[in-house]
Amino acid sequence: MAKLAVIVKVLPEDINVNLDELVSKIKEKLPEKYELKDYRKEPIAFGLQALLISVRMPENVEGGTEELEKIIAGVSGVGEVSVEYVSRIS
């Protein structure tokens, strides 16, 4: 079965959120069918940084990336979530 590689941009609620801890919280909330592969920090402005998170997920999930976005948005410390990139991988 094919999978999707998804890059999700996560903005924290404020500048004081520890991004490494935020990644750990997100990883804990993800169901088994989602696999957090990697992440990096991206400077935005005035000390604010975003997370770019790489997630592998099944291709046949109903609603596409909507469930993934809702899970991440529900994590304490997350301000905004947006899908930046989706690609099919084998």
Give the number of domains in the chain: 1
Single pTM value for the model: 0.90
CATH number at residue 44: 3.30.70.60
Tell me the one-letter amino acid at 42: E
pLDDT given at position 60? 85
C-alpha of 54 from chain center: 7
Range of the domain at 15: 3-89
pLDDT given at position 30? 95
Q: What is the pLDDT along the chain (90 residues), one digit of tens a residue?
A: 789 999 999 999 989 999 999 999 999 999 999 999 999 999 998 888 999 999 999 988 888 899 999 999 999 999 999 999 999 997
**What angle (nearest 5°) sits at the alpha carbon of residue 15, between those of residues 79 and 35?**
50
In angstroms, rounded to a whole number, what is the distance separating the alpha carbons of residues 77 and 16? Answer: 9
In angstroms, rounded to a whole number, what is the distance separating the alpha carbons of residues 20 and 17? Answer: 9
